[in-house]
C-alpha cells in the first residue's frame, strides 16, 4: 500500500487536494473517482519526494518524539493482539496524522512485505529512528519479544520527552523575562531618554556623571544599533562554529562543567540519560558492548562521553565498567557505587533504572530551584537598571526645578 497525493475537482467544481492510500496508481485513481473527485493530478508520495516539497504535502514536516512514542505504543498494542507486522503497519498508516511519518511507515511496510527485517527497514530512516530504537527492535526480533521491547521503547521515549519538556519549561520563563526586560529598557533608552535630554541641553548646565552615562548609552543605541546587531550575530556565528570543532567542543564542555548550578544540572541530565538508555538496551537483550557504544553517542558532554568509551574498552578487556567512570571524576560516587553493586550482584539493569529515576527526580527539583532563583535575580537586575535610569533623570530635573524657584 502506497500513499498518493492528488489535486482535482469535486462535484461542485471546487478544487480539492488531499492524500489517499492504495495498492497502486490504478486503484488510487479508482478510489478518487469513487469519492466523486475528477483528478487533475495524482502522484505517489515517498520520503524523497516529500523533501522536495511535493504537491499536497507541507514542506519541512518533522517527526516529533511525541509522534514517535505514540506510534511505538500503538504498534506494540497491535502486535500483542497477534496482528502481523505488515498488517499492523497498514493500520498505523491509516491512524497516523503526521504526513512525513505516514509516508515513512508506508515505505517500511512495503520493505517488510518484501522480506526485509523490521530493524533493517527502520535503519533506512536514521533521522526518525535512531540507533537506540533500531538496535532494540533488532534485539526484540531476534529474541521473539518485539512487542515487549516496543513497550519499553514507548516508555523510554516518553520519559525522554518529559525530561526535555521540563528543561524547556524551566528555561521559558527566564528567556521571556530577559526579552521583555531588554525590550522595555531599549525603548526607554531610544525613545524616552532623547526627549528628556533635549530639556537638559536647552538649560546648558553641567550634567551629573550618571546622567552623562545614560545619555551616552542612549546616543550609542540610536546611532549604532545596527552595529550591535551585526556584532551580536557575528559573535554568535563565530562561537557556534568554534564549538562545532573538536577542540572548541572540548573547551566548551569543560567550561560548562565548571559553572555553578549549571554544571550539576548538566551532569545529572547526562547521568540520567546514560543510565536509563543503558538499562533499556540491556533489558531488551542488546549485548553490553553494543549498548555501551550506542549510549556513548547519546551522552552530550564530550568528557563524559570519553569516560563511557573508556568504560566500554574496560569491559571488552574483561574489567569492570566502573573503573574509568570513577577515574574521570565526572560521575557522582553514588552512581558508580550503585553500578558496581549491580555488576557484583548480577542486577545491573535494575540498579541503572533506580539511578536513572533518582536523577530524573533530582533534575526536576534542580530545575524548579533554578527557576525560583533566576526569577528574583532577574527582577532585581531589571530594578537596578530602571532605578539607574530614573536616578539619572530625576536628579537633574530636581536641580532644574530648584533653579526655577
This prediction has a pTM of 0.69
DSSP state of 245: S
**Res 52 pLDDT > 60:** no
Neighbours of 154 (CB within 10 A): 20
Q: Shortest CA distance to 280 belongs to which of 291, 269, 289, 270? A: 291
Give the model confidence (pLDDT) of 128-144 as tens digits: 888 888 888 888 888 88
What are the residue ranges of helices labelled H in 61-145? 65-80, 85-95, 99-113, 118-123, 131-143
Per-residue pLDDT band for 205 (boundaries 50, 70, 90) equals: low
Distance CA 95, CA 74 (A): 9
C-alpha cell at 164: 526535555
pLDDT at 56: 39
Give the model confidence (pLDDT) of 140-193 as tens digits: 888 888 888 888 888 888 887 887 888 787 778 788 888 888 888 888 888 888
C-alpha cell at 325: 567512570
Per-residue pLDDT band for 281 (boundaries 50, 70, 90) equals: confident
Distance CA 202, CA 275 (A): 69
Per-residue pLDDT band for 27 (boundaries 50, 70, 90) equals: confident
Mean pLDDT value across residues 18-24: 69
Amino acid at each position: 500500500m502506497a500513499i498518493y497525493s492528488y489535486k482535482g475537482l469535486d462535484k461542485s467544481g471546487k478544487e480539492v487536494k488531499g492524500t489517499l492510500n492504495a495498492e497502486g496508481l490504478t486503484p488510487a485513481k479508482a478510489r478518487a473517482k469513487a469519492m466523486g473527485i475528477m483528478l487533475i493530478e495524482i502522484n505517489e508520495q515517498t520520503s524523497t519526494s516529500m523533501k522536495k516539497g511535493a504537491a499536497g504535502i507541507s514542506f519541512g514536516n518533522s517527526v516529533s518524539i511525541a509522534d514517535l512514542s505514540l506510534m511505538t505504543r500503538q504498534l506494540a498494542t497491535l502486535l500483542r493482539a497477534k496482528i502481523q507486522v505488515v498488517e499492523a503497519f497498514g493500520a498505523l498508516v491509516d491512524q497516523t496524522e503526521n504526513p512525513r511519518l505516514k509516508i515513512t511507515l508506508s515505505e517500511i511496510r512495503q520493505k517488510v512485505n518484501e522480506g526485509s527485517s523490521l530493524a533493517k527497514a527502520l535503519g533506512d530512516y536514521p533521522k526518525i529512528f535512531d540507533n537506540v530504537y533500531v538496535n532494540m527492535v533488532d534485539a526484540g526480533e531476534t529474541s521473539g519479544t518485539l512487542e515487549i521491547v516496543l513497550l519499553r521503547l514507548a516508555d523510554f521515549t516518553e520519559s525522554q520527552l518529559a525530561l526535555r519538556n521540563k528543561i524547556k519549561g524551566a528555561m521559558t520563563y527566564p528567556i521571556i523575562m530577559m526579552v521583555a526586560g531588554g525590550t522595555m529598557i531599549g525603548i526607554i533608552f531610544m525613545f524616552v531618554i532623547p526627549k528628556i535630554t533635549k530639556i537638559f541641553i536647552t538649560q546648558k548646565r553641567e550634567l551629573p556623571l550618571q546622567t552623562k552615562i545614560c545619555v551616552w548609552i542612549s546616543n550609542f543605541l540610536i546611532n549604532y544599533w545596527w552595529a550591535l546587531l551585526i556584532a551580536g550575530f557575528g559573535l554568535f556565528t563565530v562561537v557556534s562554529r568554534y564549538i562545532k570543532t573538536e577542540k572548541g567542543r572540548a573547551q566548551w564542555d569543560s567550561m560548562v562543567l565548571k559553572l555553578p548550578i549549571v554544571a550539576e544540572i548538566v551532569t545529572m541530565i547526562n547521568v540520567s540519560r546514560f543510565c536509563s538508555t543503558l538499562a533499556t538496551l540491556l533489558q531488551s537483550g542488546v549485548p553490553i558492548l553494543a549498548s555501551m557504544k550506542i549510549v556513548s553517542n547519546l551522552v552530550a558532554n564530550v568528557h563524559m562521553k570519553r569516560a563511557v568509551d573508556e568504560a566500554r574498552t574496560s569491559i571488552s578487556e574483561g574489567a569492570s565498567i566502573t573503573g574509568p567512570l570513577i577515574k574521570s571524576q565526572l560521575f557522582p560516587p553514588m552512581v558508580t557505587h550503585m553500578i558496581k553493586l549491580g555488576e557484583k550482584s548480577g542486577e545491573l539493569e535494575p540498579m541503572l533504572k533506580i539511578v536513572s529515576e533518582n536523577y530524573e527526580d533530582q533534575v526536576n527539583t534542580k530545575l524548579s530551584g533554578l527557576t525560583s532563583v533566576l526569577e528574583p535575580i532577574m527582577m532585581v537586575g531589571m530594578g537596578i537598571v530602571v532605578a539607574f535610569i530614573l536616578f539619572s533623570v530625576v536628579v537633574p530635573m530636581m536641580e532644574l526645578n530648584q533653579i526655577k524657584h
